[in-house]
Amino acid sequence: MADHLREDDRDAAYPSLSFVNNKDRDTPIMTHKAPLYTPKYQSHMGQQIVKLEATSCWYVVLWNWGSQWAARTDRKENFSHGIQMHGVTVLGTTSLYQSHPWVLAVLPNGEALGILADTTRRCEIDLRKELTIQLIAPSPYPVITFGPFTSPSAVLVSLSHATGTIFMPPKWSLGYHQCRWSYDSDKRVLEVSKTFREKGIPCDVIWMDIDYMDGFRCFTFDKEHFSDPKSLVKDLHHIGFKAIWMLDPGIKHEDGYFVYDSGAKSDVWIKKADGTPFVGEVWPGPCVFPDFTQSKTRSWWASLVKDFVSNGVDGIWNDMNEPAVFKSVTKTMPESNIHNGDKELGNCQNHSHYHNVYGMLMARSTHEGMKLADKNKRPFVLTRAGFVGSQRYAATWTGDNLSTWEHLHMSISMVLQLGLSGQPLSGPDIGGFEETQHPNFLDGGWVSVPCFLFVVGTLKLTLMTMNPGLLVWSSVDQCEEVCRLALRRRYRLLPHIYTLFYIAHTTGVPVATPTFFADPKDPSLRTLENSFLLGPLLVCASSMPDQSLDKLQCTLPKGIWQIFDFDDSHPDLPALYLQGGSIVPVGPPHQHVGESDPSDDLTLLVALDENGKAKGILFEDDGDGYGFTEGQYLLTHYVAELQESVVTVRISGTEGSWKRPQRRLNVKFLLGEGTMVSLTFIESLQNEVSNLVSASKEQYKTRLENAKPIPDVEKVSGQKGTELSKTPIELKSGDWALKVVPWIGGRIISMEHLPSAYAGACLNIPNVVYVILHADHSTSNLFVFTGSQWLHSRIEINGYEEYCGTEYRSIGCTEEYNVIE
């Protein structure tokens, strides 16, 4: 990371609202080694113009609302607008709800460079001149370059270290969210929620738009239609739903309204140039707006949020926070309005300075209020407006959209670009916010594709359109079935998705990325817009009319990519590919996250690379709270390796203090062309077994040394070494007893837990799977050594067979051991 601001301008630059630590940005470059790409600064008519020039062609990924993320030769203005989408298209709009003065450039050799203009003011990014990136904004402002690094992912990790990683989301927030404008009563909310359960369509969250309020007044409830929010939430929780409620920044200008009165008393409103509170028209009518640039205002708002959460609020939705203002040409407040900002934010400035960060500061205040309400739960906040660094406080959705193929296609690039600017938790309105296409469109596009797209995040997801507002199950049966299949896929993948978000939270590695991230050197991948990556998982989806998946040619990166499904093949579902060398954990398709249990079956999808190896990780904790920051989690590293026709799957390492759950572990090997080979056994506490074997080592060694040698090979048919014994050697250590046959390397043939209290418990077994493969990689003689028995009836070893006639045995049981020549 390099800050190129000239020394004489450094002190005059405004504080950074992007960086976690402002000192990181303001520390001059101390090395004598000049950066590879050095910006050139010049001033013209109050504007600072910064240019970066490449020596060879680079590929630019510009974060840009309403357009594809392919190579840009365009100009973009970073100034967030609260444009109302009703009946209009955004294809020609370059700025909407968020502002990110950030460019990611990929060099021909696959290396990448990030450029951040760290200014909150209106900033223009101009890419019209070949090999040149030009940034124009009121001066002075610093330009930070990140890299070049060896890969685009490394650039994003560096950006996250500077601007902060994403907050760790509660696990339930990664499930499906049901939202629409709007549910008119608590009875309707319950009716919709119960129908999801009756029809077996997975869902975790239901959202309340502004109609729950009393006259659109924030922090109130309609006394007739939402008279008892606590009771409503209790009923929702009972059937596995969380409740999210909207809060806008516009506070009704009305004496006697407790929020207005307390705000006026604390003097928290944004002022006009003459010093009087600004009043603008929004949903409640005339409104005043909190000045979130002041710490006292943020504390005031957080205290309101804290009290609001006591009604059973699980999450909060911040809308209209650009801030949007009706009856205004610009759809926002005048730039001449005054904010009395804190010193660390830039002191007293007009609205043009703070406009782009207003939504982020509101989300920050809401986040802090939810933490005050319950320190043992992770806040969940969704924001429409944001800036670089918003990921520390809130998720994002892409705003009001249309139910059209164009907006479906755009949603992929929009969500990916949010991730490329450091904000991985995002998603679109499914089905579109407005305009209704034929049900087949919902069936083939807006349901199946975003069910994987918003795997990227989650969010204000709509399975119904505003007009006519049909529920998914009231349109066509085919659409309902596709929804069910797609959402079941999503829930199966939650262990993988949750793990990716933990990695993003702790390291800054992005969750979802464009396909070219798999091979940044391959220029043919850089323009793909119908596929994306979730870690090593490639999702390829049809997102344009007359483009069914079976006719869509999915361009795959180089290497091994194994296609698979969950026995749910359907032409309207995306194709799934797992990269060779990867192991991905998946779980059962629950109806909601609350149904999950640590003892649930776990499945490992394994795709070996060209060297016969694979690896993957799984993060597990209680799904909420902050215990994981104190070591209360389990991070498991799985590896698989093919050696001499045997594939071994094992745990290579663990982190955290959580005890490994007792559960069935399913291993599915992807062999190409959709073929899978499945094995099932009991996942164990490998460390406990390892300690047991270690503790018995000396006894085991002594017994082997004392074994009588075979006096005459001719008389006894068998393998040379120690004497064959009908009775296996028994080793005891602590609560465990092992029976071992010493002559074939000390093979464990049974393991028994001695305390009777555990007589019916599951076996603890080492996590080792052996798979015998023919030379052509077809399968034969699949078996698992569990530490208690071989899960296969006949296994040949040097002319002999080991025999185990029962696949699963309870603790306390032993097995007959036969040796056959």
The residues that are catalytic are 319, 322, 400
Which strand (E) or helix (H) includes residue 281? Answer: strand 280-282
Dist. CA 478–CA 487, nearest whole Å:
14
The CA distances from residue 367 to 301, 313, 317, 616, in Å, are 10, 13, 11, 32
DSSP structure class, residue 521: T
Local structure of 507: helix, strand or coil? helix
Are the CB atoms for 579 and 560 separated by under 8 Å? Answer: yes
**How remote is the C-alpha of 297 from its chain's centroid?**
32
Got the DSSP string for 647-667? EEEEEEEEESSPPPP-EEEEE
Local structure of 502: helix, strand or coil? helix
Structure tokens at 420: 């490329």
Got the DSSP string for 24-83? HHHSPP--SSPPSS--EEEEETTEEEEEEE-SS--EEEE--TTS--S----EEEE-----
Dist. CA 64–CA 100, nearest whole Å:
8
Dist. CA 696–CA 785, nearest whole Å:
19
Dist. CA 241–CA 234, nearest whole Å:
9
The CA distances from residue 456 to 396, 494, 531, in Å, are 11, 11, 13
Local structure of 391: helix, strand or coil? helix
Where would I find the beta strands (DSSP E) of 54-154?
59-62, 75-78, 102-106, 112-117, 123-126, 132-138, 143-149
DSSP structure class, residue 240: T
Which strand (E) or helix (H) includes residue 287? Answer: strand 285-288
Region of 778 (left: φ > 0; alpha: ψ -120 to 50; beta: rest) is beta
Dist. CA 56–CA 447, nearest whole Å:
42
Number of C-beta neighbours around residue 377 at 10 A: 15
Number of H helices, E strands in the chain: 16, 41
Structure tokens at 770: 């052996």
Instruction: Give me the residues paired with residue 513 across strands.
Output: 533
Dist. CA 232–CA 239, nearest whole Å:
11
Which strand (E) or helix (H) includes residue 749? Answer: strand 747-753
Dist. CA 173–CA 459, nearest whole Å:
8
With vertex at residue 415, the alpha carbon angle to CA 566 and CA 100, rounded to the nearest 5 degrees, is: 160
DSSP structure class, residue 234: H
Instruction: Give me the residues paired with residue 619 across strands.
Output: 635
Instruction: Give me the residues paired with residue 748 across strands.
Output: 740
Are the CB atoms for 537 and 497 separated by under 8 Å? Answer: no
The CA distances from residue 719 to 309, 723, 725, 801, in Å, are 72, 9, 12, 12
Torsions phi, psi for 571 (to 5 deg):
-65, -20
Which strand (E) or helix (H) includes residue 172? Answer: none
DSSP structure class, residue 256: T
DSSP structure class, residue 276: S
Number of C-beta neighbours around residue 295 at 10 A: 13
Residues belonging to the chain: 821
Strands 59-62 and 102-106 turn out to be antiparallel
